[in-house]
Structure 1
Amino acid sequence: MADGESDGFVAGQTALVVPVPEAEPAVRIWRDRFDPAARAGVPAHVTVLFPFLHASLVDAGTCAVLDEIFGRHESFDVRFEECGRFPGVLYLAPVPDAPFRRLTEAVVDRWPEAPPYGGKYEPHPHLTVAQGQDESVLDELEADLRPSLPFAARVPTIDLVVHNGIDWQHRASFALR
């Protein structure tokens, strides 16, 4: 979720994520070692929006609007066929990625004060496997992951997670139609 920010999660941060339990057999061992979000309790996922609103601003009304926004989108199938890289980051690329982009755009259209990654990066749907590693480590991880690809997943929900200062906690789920 916080590519390039290492363990810099802050109490009250929130995120909207698509859990991908189908990825766990392939990525769990590497995420546990090399992804701060995994060590802080977030399962394998594709981020829709991080950071979202501060937890103090997320109330029943906010959740009702999120439920309405996500309820306008169809659930969908996705495949993870190959790895990709950002500097120091290894990820799995979802195909297609357009449904994830539409979900992000819909939330940002409603809350423009919450741009993806605080406006630092353009959103690029991905499932982080490892971050903060040099290329040789990422090369080894990628070689290990290749035999596990491709795999498919169904996307029926979006989860709201909140950082409590120590780890990420599930707060709500929103169904796609």
Structure 2
Amino acid sequence: MADDSTSRCAAGQTGLVVGIPEAEPAVRAWRERFDPSAGAGIPAHVTVLFPFLDVGRADARVCSALADALGRQHAFDLRFESCGRFPGVLYLAPEPDTPLRRLTDTIADRWPEAPPYGGKYTEVVPHLTIADGQDDAVLDEIEADLLGRLPITSRVSSVDLMVHDGAKWQERASFALRA
């Protein structure tokens, strides 16, 4: 969810993410300095779908539908072996990314009124943002440090619903994937 500055997030916005706690030791310090979402309470993660439904719509019925849809998807392993870039952004690239794309497609197909990133991009590239809004020299420094800390592996077994309260993101619910 770091692709849009946290300061532009409104109270009541939601997003779906997979946490990558195994990445925290390698990325925490960089994210705290250069990724606004870290300071707003979002741990190391890969976004599944942002923005999702406004919190007023993310009621018990929607949560039940999310649990059902995500519960049909199998848990999977990810490996982060390399960095990637968007303009001004450095990220860790998950491999394989197909299971993440499948999670995004599952939710976007069920809730077409909530396209990934508001429909801003024609292709969604799964990624774990490390730094946003930085020049190449800063990104080069971070990447050089991170390459010595890779690979990172992670088991993805749930998707978290995050809610923005106007200042911070908080986990509202977690949905288990099929074991």
> Quick check: TM above 0.5?
yes
Shift of 1:7: 2.6
Q: Secondary structure at the match of 1:158?
A: strand
State the match for 2:110 in structure 1: 110
Q: Secondary structure at the match of 2:56?
A: helix
Query: Which aligned segments of 4 or more residues in structure 1 are displaced greater than 6 angstroms?
Result: none
Shift of 1:123: 1.2
Q: Secondary structure at the match of 2:10?
A: coil
Residue correspondences, number: 177
Distance 1:134 1:4 in 2: 17
Shift of 1:38: 0.5
Mapped pair 1:77 → 2:77: yes
Letter in 2 for 1:161: M
Quick check: 1:4–1:132 contact (8 Å CA) kept in 2?
no
Q: Structure 1 length normalisation: TM-score?
A: 0.98
Distance 2:52 2:6 in 1: 18
Quick check: 2:6–2:40 contact (8 Å CA) kept in 1?
no
State the match for 1:146 in structure 2: 147
Mapped pair 1:176 → 2:174: no
Shift of 1:45: 0.2
State the match for 2:101 in structure 1: 101
Distance 1:85 1:64 in 2: 36
Quick check: 1:2–1:50 contact (8 Å CA) kept in 2?
no
Closer, same or farther in 2 for the Cα pair 1:6/1:63, shift >3 Å? Answer: closer
* Structure 2 segments unaligned to the other structure (5+ residues): none
Q: Structure 2 length normalisation: TM-score?
A: 0.97
Mapped pair 1:61 → 2:61: yes
Shift of 1:10: 1.1
Shift of 1:26: 0.5
Distance 2:36 2:145 in 1: 20
Closer, same or farther in 2 for the Cα pair 1:12/1:4, shift >3 Å? Answer: closer
State the match for 2:124 in structure 1: 123
State the match for 1:92 in structure 2: 92
Letter in 2 for 1:79: R
Shift of 1:8: 1.4
* Structure 1 segments unaligned to the other structure (5+ residues): none
Q: Deviations over 1:28-72 (max 9, x none)?
A: 000011111111000000000000000110100000000000000
Distance 1:96 1:80 in 2: 9
Quick check: 1:162–1:171 contact (8 Å CA) kept in 2?
yes
Quick check: 1:49–1:117 contact (8 Å CA) kept in 2?
yes
